[in-house]
Amino acid sequence: MLQRTIRRLAIAFLCLVAGGAKSFELTEIAPGVFAHQGVTALMSRDNLGGIANLGAIVGAEAVAVIDTGGSRAEGEAFLAALQQRTTKPIRYVIDTHVHPDHIFGNIAFRDTGAVFVGHKNLARAMAARGPHYLSSFREAMGALLDDVILVPPTLTVERETILDLGGRKITLKAWRTAHSDSDLTVLDSQSGTLFTGDLLFLQHVPIVDGSLLGFLSVIEELRKIEAVRVVPGHGPAVAPWPQALEAQKAYLDHLTRDLRADIAKGETLARAVTTAGRGEKPNWLLFEDYHTRNATAGFAELEWEAP
């Protein structure tokens, strides 16, 4: 037992050194607004789970962090990089939703004194899914998960909440079930920068872990937000707004159209998911990793609207 613990610690250390050697890039995309681009890949030991885009907004008095990364190691690298850019205290750590690549790094920020902020459903979603995430990502992440503890929000957003960073107010908005059932966006009106979390995917195929129809309707709502640039949950760290929504909308529309046609014909779930929306394949990375799952969840959802 002890031997195994020592071995795990040694592996954890090696993994940290290997990961730590890579520098954590944090780019100032607008005055006082920082973004980090995750790699478009599945979470793994090699990338420290660092697949999601992360961000930070710096006001006159304080800092808000937006998502913390896919492991404690990534969270720590983010914190260190941020402290190179500003000495102001981190007042808020905002989780855009429950998925591991966005929240596993929370633990690295626990001792900063920051208030953890999330959608009203986030704590419930963490409780319901957390243990499963920690066990199911063990194979891909190994010892990197040993020191991940999920940190739930203490400040929750029912609909809309404005946070003041000192001369800079940011607007947090909680959405109906779309990508997940805990999606939250962050808007910095001062710079015109919107952080969507995974309500927007670029290049990385969109993931529907909430509701296909909800996702499509939220896209139309998002479109109305006044901003000039967006930091999506995955893909390039920054993109023009709202044009960045179009590819994702086309994907979700295509999938919905195909699934509805299959359901109307009486096709079975098992067969429909092998064909629906597959014409979108050339447009996306990681298509084979997520597309069939989107089709499966979408079929089960759309079946209820059929006559």
Partner 1 sequence: MVAALCLSAGAALAQEQKIDPWPGLVTDIFHDRPIASHEGVVALEAPKRAEDAAIVPMTISLLAPGLRAATLVIDENPMPMAAAFSFGEGAGVTKIETRVRVNSYTNVHVVSQTGDGALHSVVKFVKASGGCSAPAIKDQDEASANLGKMKYRELPSENPALREAQIMIRHPNNSGLQMDPLTRAYIPAHYVDKVEVRQGDALIFSMEGGISLSEDPSFRFAYKPNGAKVMRVEARDNQGNVFKGEWPIGGAS
Q: In the complex, which residues of this chain contact partner 1 (CB under 8 A)?
A: 7-8, 11, 14-15, 17-18, 42, 45-46, 99-101, 121, 123-129, 131-133, 136-140, 142-143, 152, 177, 180-181, 207, 209-211, 214, 265-266, 268-270, 273, 289-290, 292-293, 295-297, 300, 303-304, 306
Q: How far is the CB of 73 from partner 1 (least distance, A)?
A: 12
Q: How far is the CB of 85 from partner 1 (least distance, A)?
A: 29
Q: How far is the CB of 89 from partner 1 (least distance, A)?
A: 27
What separation in angstroms does the CA of 69 have from each of 13, 233, 263, 297? 19, 11, 38, 26
Q: H-helix or E-strand containing 152?
A: none
CA angle, 148 then 56 then 223, to 5°: 110
**Please, which residue, 140 or 225, has the CB nearer to partner 1?**
140
Q: How many CA atoms lie within 13 A of 209 on its CB side?
A: 15
- Cis preceding-peptide flag for 242 (omega within 30 of 0): yes
**Please, which residue, 138 or 223, has the CB nearer to partner 1?**
138
User: Which residues, 6 or more positions from 223, have their beta carbon under 8 angstroms from its beta carbon?
Assistant: 242, 245
Residue 229 corresponds to which amino acid? R
Q: How far is the CB of 33 from partner 1 (least distance, A)?
A: 27
**Please, which residue, 175 or 241, has the CB nearer to partner 1?**
175
**Please, which residue, 32 or 152, has the CB nearer to partner 1?**
152
Residue 246 burial (CB count, 10 A): 11
CA distance 67 to 199: 13
**Please, which residue, 142 or 192, has the CB nearer to partner 1?**
142
3-class DSSP state of 131: helix
Q: How far is the CB of 59 from partner 1 (least distance, A)?
A: 30
